[in-house]
Amino acid sequence: MEVPAATSLMEIYPEDAVPSEKQRWELLLSEFEQKYEQPAGFVARSPGRVNIIGEHIDYSLYEVFPMAVTADVLLAVTVRPSTEPPRIRIANANKEKFPERNFEIPPEGEIPIDASSLEWSNYFKCGLRAASKLLQQKRDAGDSFVSIGMDVLVDGNVPAGAGLSSSAAFVCSSALAVMKANGEDKIDKKELTELAIVSERAVGVNSGGMDQSASVFALRGSALYVSFVPELSVRPVQIPRTDPEMTFVVAHSFVTSNKQESGPVCYNLRVVECTMAAALLAKVVRLKSPLPKDSSPLGTSLRGFHDTFFMENEGVADNSKTPVAEFEKQLEKLVQLTEDYLIQEEGYTREQLCDLLGMSIEQLHDRFLSSLLVRAEFFKLRQRALHVFGEAIRVIKFMSLLASAGPEESNKLLEELGGLMNQTQDSCRDIYECSCPELDELCFLARSAGACGSRLTGAGWGGCSVHLVPKDKVEAVKDSWINEYYKKRWPDITDERLKEAIVVSKPGSGSYIFKNVGVL
């Protein structure tokens, strides 16, 4: 499946968003021409996403259920002359916050990226590095491939640190732009997604693959069921019609959570804890086989433990073919296994893990801590594994409800779907410990005003929340937030800022190339 090329904004955005997007695109293209003294050759576009359910389990290789949002990252691009050494000039429409950067593309070796620096252009470099590697392989160029130079102007309206995957949208757009600039007219969605997943890790955040999958593969009107085993696969899922209509509303806490800054004690620590949990479970149940190498950030995962455990104990040769009902029972067994064997509620020290895993401190560091900056005295493996297995069960139940929905049971469906989302929030708050008081309050207010389900979305520790709200309750929920949350904290908050804070979201479209920039 290839990334589509659009010739009209109507192909990309819902009808009610086209007028404002047209103004935004016209301004971007006008600024590009003014800055670089020539028109842009094309625009690469990738959206942010909101995750409906399946939080913090993609990097353990369990299924998730996100949808794209209308907000996106645009890269207007023109190719520089091939007669000069290749270089990048990249500017941002928000030039006060993101100053212009210029750099040459090295004639050999990788594009250098300083992961310790909070530098906005690093996300473009991630896409450039990954796309260059892929083009080198596709063209069998050995070490000789060097990308063409480009002039780039970026405009993004996915709020940073909001849990809506602004970084993934930027990396996906960047990789897409580099592929297109280097003459690739047919760009495979799966290839683009897989290279974006790996390349974003160069900035020091070892994310899973949900964000990039949602950004690239999304289809307007459908959410996405994303699987990672035996390989990356994406299935569009229509949201069923209900009466009252099922509506997803996103509310920003205005607590910014930058994964690169907070990663050592938040996001990256959770990745490490999940990987350690898989290793310790494998040890205590005495698996004969080593955990299989896989596409998770540190190379082994709870899903790898899951599949190996049932292969050795129940003869399941290919667990990706296990019927869903049986897979759910497996997860329930793993929850019990975790409760029985990972018994230290307070967590495990490095020394305790070394004793249990039969490793030295140096070996523990090399295996789990060498590629990620992490700060922790205790690693809460029990809690992290319980969340992952429990959340994987909730995803299965959520998908089962959607598949069996009948029009005559709308209220029951909304309540049951919402109940699963509420359970996710409880688990994120109490077990995975990735919520914050502001997100908890937004969820409480929404439920009190009629939302069926409320939970954080994205990494957590701030950012956005997502709420399943019957359409006839949307205004009541919005009023509750405005009066009890936003205006109490920021009495002078403007209507424009409130419009940014609360968004009624419908499933949006994914990555696009827009060629005919003269006609929007």
3-state per-residue secondary structure call for 65-102:
EEEEEEEEEEEEEEECCCCCCCEEEEEECCCCCCCCEE
Measure the CA–CA gap between 320 and 417, rounded to whole angstroms.
25
Measure the CA–CA gap between 384 and 271, rounded to whole angstroms.
9
CA end-to-end distance (rounded Å), the chain: 25
- Spatial CA neighbour of 259 closest among 171, 200, 335, 194: 200
Point out which residues pair with 68 in neighbouring strands: 49
3-state secondary structure of 253: coil
Amino acid identity, position 308: T
Amino acid identity, position 217: F
The answer to whether residue 211 is catalytic is yes
- Spatial CA neighbour of 458 closest among 233, 268, 257, 171: 257
Please identify which of the residues 72, 151, 211, 307 carries the catalytic annotation: 211
Q: For residue 375, what are the contacts with CB-CB under 8 A and spacing of at least 6?
A: 264, 265, 269
Residue with tokens 């996106």: 72
Measure the CA–CA gap between 297 and 207, rounded to whole angstroms.
7
Please answer whether residues 205 and 261 qualify as being in contact, where contact means their C-beta atoms are separated by less than 8 angstroms: no
Measure the CA–CA gap between 10 and 22, rounded to whole angstroms.
10
Scored b (16 or more CB within 10 A) or e, 207-238 reads: bbbbbbbbbbbbbbebbbbbbbbeebebeebe
Q: For residue 325, what are the contacts with CB-CB under 8 A and spacing of at least 6?
A: none
Q: For residue 416, what are the contacts with CB-CB under 8 A and spacing of at least 6?
A: 401
Which residues are annotated as catalytic?
Answer: 211
